[in-house]
A = this chain, B = another copy of it.
Amino acid sequence: MGEAAAALDEWTERQKDVLDAVLDLLVTGGDAVTTAAIARKANCSKETLYKWFGDRDGLLAATVRWQASRVRAGNFDAQHLDASQLRESLEAFAINWLTVISSRTSIALNRVGISHAGSGKSSLGRMVLANGRFAIGERLKPLLEAGRANGLLAFDDTEATFRTFFGLVGRDVQIRLLLGDRLETTEAEIARDAARATQQFFALYGAPQTQKPLQGRI
């Protein structure tokens, strides 16, 4: 939230163009993402790159933040939920999440973060994690808790419940894509998987069908 706003005006338009160039290079995995290639693609000098972003890692970190600041989908309003609204919201979350992790951008950034995490300096990995797995968690948890408050869901541990939802939605998709598996992720496929995951989630955590107390409405 504050994070996203900060990232949005943290750089000038010209600098954002540079970050977009980095993203382009990352996504088209063909050629290596060298500082020279970045400067060429962005029509700027390497010296400017280093002046603005410090070093290559700083540039990559800025790119992660920049992409993250763009991705935030609007939060879902979780007041006066009924069962079908909750189901729709969960399904929308699942669709959104599957779409994100299937995107070439997400795959490329996760690969960069993982490579860095393997090289000791794990700050990029933590950043990807914060803007991926943990960001979606913080956005989904209020919805889960609203569902519980309205008697639609039954669970004790919000974190554990979210992790189960995460597993039901993601399954093996992310690791397969990261490892280069060709996995057709069409929109229709994603919608079907999101619906299945949501249904399974309700089977596990849906509250038993009791007459829910008409709280507040006289």
Contacts and interface: CB of A to CB of B under 8 A. Distances in A.
A32 B112 CA distance: 16
A119 interface: yes
A144 to B, nearest CB: 15
Interface string A190-209: 00000000001001100000
Nearest to A170: B167
Dominant SS at the A interface? helix
Interface stretch (A38-46, A55-63, A124-132): A124-132
Copies of this chain per assembly: 2
Interface stretch (A16-24, A78-86, A173-181): A173-181
Interface in A37-78: none
Contact of A171 (B30, B166, B176, B180): B166
A2 interface: no
Nearest to A122: B180
Kindly name the residue among A117, A133, A163, A175 whose own CB sees the greatest number of chain B CB atoms within 10 A.
A175
A118 B129 contact: no
A13 interface: no
A30 B172 contact: no
Interface in A101-127: 108, 110-120, 122, 125-126
A112 to B, nearest CB: 8
A114 B111 contact: yes
Contacts of A129: 175-176, 179-181
A34 B110 CA distance: 24
A100 to B, nearest CB: 13
Interface in A136-169: 163-164, 166-169
Interface of A: 29-30, 32, 108, 110-120, 122, 125-126, 128-129, 132-133, 163-164, 166-172, 174-176, 178-181, 200, 203-204
15 contacts: A29-B118, A29-B120, A30-B120, A111-B117, A112-B118, A113-B179, A117-B178, A122-B180, A133-B172, A133-B176, A166-B171, A170-B172, A174-B175, A203-B204, A204-B204
